[in-house]
Amino acid sequence: MKLTLRVWRQKDTRAPGAMEEYDVDGVSPDMSFLEMLDTLNERLTLEGADPVAFDHDCREGICGACSLVINGDAHGRERTTACQLHMRSFRDGDTIDVEPWRAAAFPVVRDLVVDRSAFDRIIQAGGYVSVPTGAAPEAHATPVPKAAADLAFEHAECIGCGACVAACPNGSAMLFTSAKVNHLNVLPQGAPERETRVLDMVAQMDAEGFGGCTLTGECATACPKGIPLMSITSMNKEWLRANRKVSRN
């Protein structure tokens, strides 16, 4: 396959960026999208040019590091990660636009790499549970209802890639934050921080400059792990419950 890539190049956060065009030949349909970018970078390096900077780690759809907007879609396709997108999804001769996540809270570091540390600070605000010191408790010491366990596992699948933010027309982080809140709030182990968790994490999310949620649903469509849109509704209920409780106290 021979492809034309239009890639966003930007030296750093303060520098202006622009799309640059590259021809990539000899692309195998069995390559992943990141392997195709590796091929481009090998050529650029041999030519003495700067390779395209992009995030990657596990390349197995688990870590959430790869963060590319491909032809206007987060990760290039619904319910996948960029590292799991294969070149057989494209046709010989296609022109492909490759851009970084576009969100005020995700400033561009270089080329296709963005700073997603805002997610880390949201987690730090309340994504933890109280753990007493001493030996680890028995695995069955605290019973967890099956329905609660299933719901917790569903939300724990979030890999923090940021596709929900990139897909949202408002740049909202509600799906990510709700996944992290609901994952712990439905478990008995998360009960001690139940109220403070949702209030603190939502407050931190707002402080980071993410946009407001208008429930367009693009976040859930783009999420590679299928976090449901109802997750946001559940978090809103948790927030209202916690706010009323704190107000009464």
| Tens-digit pLDDT profile for residues 92-150 | 999 999 999 999 999 999 999 999 999 999 999 999 998 877 887 787 888 999 999 99
Would you state the pLDDT for residue 134?
83
- Rounded average pLDDT over 6-25: 96
* pLDDT tens by residue, 177-203: 999 999 999 999 999 999 999 999 999
CATH 3.40.50.300 fits 3-110, yes or no: no
Using a pLDDT cut of 90, give the percent of the chain over it. Answer: 92
Q: Where in the chain is the domain with CATH 1.10.1060.10?
A: 117-248
pLDDT for the residue numbered 128: 93
Query: For the chain, what is the mean pLDDT?
Result: 95
Rounded CA separation 183/205 (Å): 17
Domain range 117-248, CATH architecture:
Orthogonal Bundle (1.10)
Report the 10 Å Cβ neighbour count for 166.
24
Model confidence band, residue 72 (pLDDT cutoffs 50, 70, 90):
very high
Tell me the C-alpha distance between 26 and 5, whole Å: 13
SS3 of 114, please?
strand
| Nearest partner of 235 among 140, 164, 144, judged by Cα | 164
The 10s digit of each residue's pLDDT in 46-70 is 999 999 999 999 999 999 999 999 9
All CATH 3.10.20.30 domain ranges of the chain, comma separated, are 3-110
Outline where 15-115 has alpha helix (H): 33-46
Place of tokens 């520098």: 15
pLDDT at 92: 96
